[in-house]
Amino acid sequence: MIIYYPRLILATIAAIIIYTFSSLFFLLKPFHKNNSYYCNSTMALVIFKILGVKFTKRNTDRLKDFFDAFKGNTKTPIKVLISNHQHTIDLCTVGGSLPPGVVTVGKKSIAIMPFLGWAFVLAGNILINRQDRKSAFATMKAVKEKMFKKNVSVCIMPEGTRSWGKGLLKFKKGAFYLALDAQVPIVPVVISSIHKTVDFSRWNAGEIIVDILPEINVNGIASENLNDFIEKIRNMYIEHIKRLDQEIIERQGWSN
């Protein structure tokens, strides 16, 4: 615990600085679809260094079309990325894995948070009211319109909230309805179990692996088969997370 609190304080200060300067930078191009990429990649680089976490990204070549578009070589692809959600540090794990041209769908309450909220809104991310079911569905329709209007993809965490080490929670349907309605592929973003393989009180705090799996085509998926489709994807996540965890534990020799 000797290094835990100094690390936490330093990481918090660094995050405030990054979000503040990002917000000022975003004022030059507010709501641009690449703003999140600049902020998130910087956050991941700095925060993981402070926390002593090894951050491993795999199969990022499956996001090549996003980076080609970022370089101006092609049109920005439109897809729905989905990620498991475990911890506050997912601001770095998920954010640091997203390519340019992808924004996040998050809770409306984020907007009122100092520093983070400012950067989140100016980065062009999308806010929904998860307490209002009708509003959430209406927002998904608005998300679809924005995706095609601005040639932007979205990342959604279908668990809807952080699992805090309780295992993968049940997937909500919003992201999958969106992909079906827009007829765009789903890209699974799978993150290893932070609560099993990371201990911030250690000097070398552990490792987090983010693996980009092959995209899933939703063509031919009917609404009456959606529950089975979602459960199949969730089970795929569960099995892949187990494999990632086991690999990390064997390599670093310990687990929480």
DSSP-assigned letters across all residues of 129-176: -TT-HHHHHHHHHHHHHHHHHHT-EEEE-TT-S--TTS-PPPPPSHHH
Calculate mean pLDDT across residues 96-109.
92
> Counting Cβ atoms within 10 Å, is residue 28 exposed (0-12), middle (13-18) or buried (19+)?
exposed
Distance set, CA 111 to CA 34, 49, 64, 200, 241 (Å): 19, 27, 31, 28, 31
The long-range contacts involving 88-93, CB below 8 angstroms and separated by at least 24 positions, are 88/162, 89/47, 89/51, 89/194, 90/157, 90/162, 90/191, 91/15, 91/40, 91/43, 91/116, 92/40, 92/43, 92/44, 92/47, 92/48, 92/55, 93/44, 93/55, 93/191, 93/194, 93/208, 93/210
Question: Mean of the per-residue pLDDT values for the chain?
Answer: 93
**Quick check: 130 pLDDT over 80?**
no
pLDDT tens-place string over residues 156-187: 999 988 999 899 999 999 999 999 999 999 99
Q: Would you place residue 133 in the very low, low, confident or very high pLDDT band (cuts 50, 70, 90)? A: low
pLDDT tens-place string over residues 228-250: 999 999 999 999 999 999 999 99
Tell me the two tokens of residue 74.
């092609």
Q: Please say whether the structural domain 4-252 has been given the CATH code 3.40.1130.
A: yes
Q: Is the Cβ–Cβ distance between 92 and 43 less than 8 Å?
A: yes
Tell me the one-letter amino acid at 99. Answer: P
pTM of the predicted protein model: 0.94
Torsion angle of the four alpha carbons 186, 231, 36, 217, in this order, in degrees rounded to the nearest 10: 0
Q: From the CA atom positions of the chain, what is the Rg in Å?
A: 18
Q: What is the pLDDT of residue 126?
A: 87
Rounded to whole angstroms, the Cα distance separating 87 from 70 reads 29
Q: Would you place residue 19 in the very low, low, confident or very high pLDDT band (cuts 50, 70, 90)? A: very high
> Counting Cβ atoms within 10 Å, is residue 10 exposed (0-12), middle (13-18) or buried (19+)?
middle
Domain boundaries along the sequence of the chain: 4-252
